[in-house]
């Protein structure tokens, strides 16, 4: 409502040869208009950080992953547009790093049938999303409790296949890039239950992670985790 305007003071207050100090100078904002930007205003934007753990079964047991270690990290920027105290819609852009730790077994077939000490497939993606939000409870300028349902699409920028194995008492870590089997485009559904800054988030990947021509079974499609909205409490 009010802002210090020390610079203005220098323009309006002249000292006449004696020492004096302006210790408080406040400009009272006379503007009557309601601000449009804020957590429960017409528009709001904030960043967010998510950690999602791969969940659900793979398409085939030959595409098993190690649960817990297989996870995605997301960092994004979200827009929320308020339609009413209950409904909002929004969009987001995000970067995502997903790592699928492949379970080693004789039946393994992703991305190949060779069994090693461990291996993982890493995907770096840039994506966009859109969502609808239902808020619970009347509130002031505060995010509050909500449920989101939305969709996302992401473009795979980079993939790598990292292998760990031991041969003749030597440990090897091999990093392969430029594979031709990952699909470029991914898309899916997002659901979120939010408690102000803290959000429980789940995603379901509707697209195939691998190109059809590769003939690889699909890795688990679900991911479940938490998100932290990086906005004031």
Residues that bind another protein (CB under 8 A): 1-2, 5, 8-9, 11-16, 18-28, 30, 34, 38-40, 132, 134, 136-142, 144, 147, 149, 151, 189, 191, 204, 206, 208, 212, 232
Q: How many CA atoms lie within 13 A of 76 on its CB side?
A: 26
Closest to another protein by CB, 3 vs 176, is 3
Closest to another protein by CB, 60 vs 69, is 60
Closest to another protein by CB, 114 vs 193, is 193
Q: Can you tell me the distance from the alpha carbon of 210 to that of 111, in angstroms, rounded to the nearest whole number? A: 9
Q: Can you tell me the distance from the alpha carbon of 159 to that of 122, in angstroms, rounded to the nearest whole number? A: 6
Q: Can you tell me the distance from the alpha carbon of 221 to that of 211, in angstroms, rounded to the nearest whole number? A: 15
At its nearest, how many Å lie between another protein and the CB of residue 25?
5
At its nearest, how many Å lie between another protein and the CB of residue 149?
5
At its nearest, how many Å lie between another protein and the CB of residue 20?
4
Instruction: Look at the block and give the residue holding tokens 């990093």.
Output: 175
At its nearest, how many Å lie between another protein and the CB of residue 176?
26
Q: Can you tell me the distance from the alpha carbon of 28 to that of 5, in angstroms, rounded to the nearest whole number? A: 10
Closest to another protein by CB, 107 vs 147, is 147
Residue 18: CB partners within 8 Å, gap ≥ 6? none
Closest to another protein by CB, 61 vs 176, is 61
At its nearest, how many Å lie between another protein and the CB of residue 117?
31
Residue 111 backbone zone (phi > 0: left; psi -120 to 50: alpha; other: beta): alpha
Q: Which helix (H) or strand (E) element contains residue 138?
A: none
Closest to another protein by CB, 35 vs 68, is 35
Q: Can you tell me the distance from the alpha carbon of 199 to that of 148, in angstroms, rounded to the nearest whole number? A: 10
Residue 184, both tokens = 């470029």
At its nearest, how many Å lie between another protein and the CB of residue 105?
22
């Amino acid at each position: 409502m009010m802002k210090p305007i020390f610079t203005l003071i220098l323009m309006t207050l002249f000292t006449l040869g004696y020492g004096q100090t302006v210790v408080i100078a406040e400009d009272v904002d006379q503007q009557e208009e309601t601000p449009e930007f804020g957590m429960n205003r017409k528009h709001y934007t904030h960043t967010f950080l998510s950690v999602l753990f791969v969940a659900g079964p793979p398409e085939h047991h030959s595409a098993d992953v190690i649960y817990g270690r297989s996870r995605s990290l997301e960092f994004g920027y979200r827009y929320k547009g308020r339609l009413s105290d209950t409904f909002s819609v929004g969009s987001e852009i995000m970067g995502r790093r997903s790592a699928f730790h492949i379970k080693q077994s004789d039946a393994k077939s992703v991305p190949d049938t060779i069994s090693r000490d461990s291996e993982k497939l890493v995907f770096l993606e840039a994506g966009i999303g859109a969502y609808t939000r239902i808020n619970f409870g009347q509130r002031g300028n505060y995010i509050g409790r909500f449920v989101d349902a939305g969709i996302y699409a992401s473009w795979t920028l980079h993939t790598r296949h990292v292998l760990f194995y031991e041969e003749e008492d030597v440990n090897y870590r091999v990093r392969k890039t430029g594979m031709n089997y990952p699909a470029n485009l991914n898309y899916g559904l997002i659901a979120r239950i939010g408690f102000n800054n803290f959000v429980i988030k789940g995603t379901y990947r509707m697209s195939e992670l691998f190109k059809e021509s590769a003939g690889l079974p699909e890795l688990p499609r679900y991911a479940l985790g938490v998100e932290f909205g990086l906005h004031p409490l």
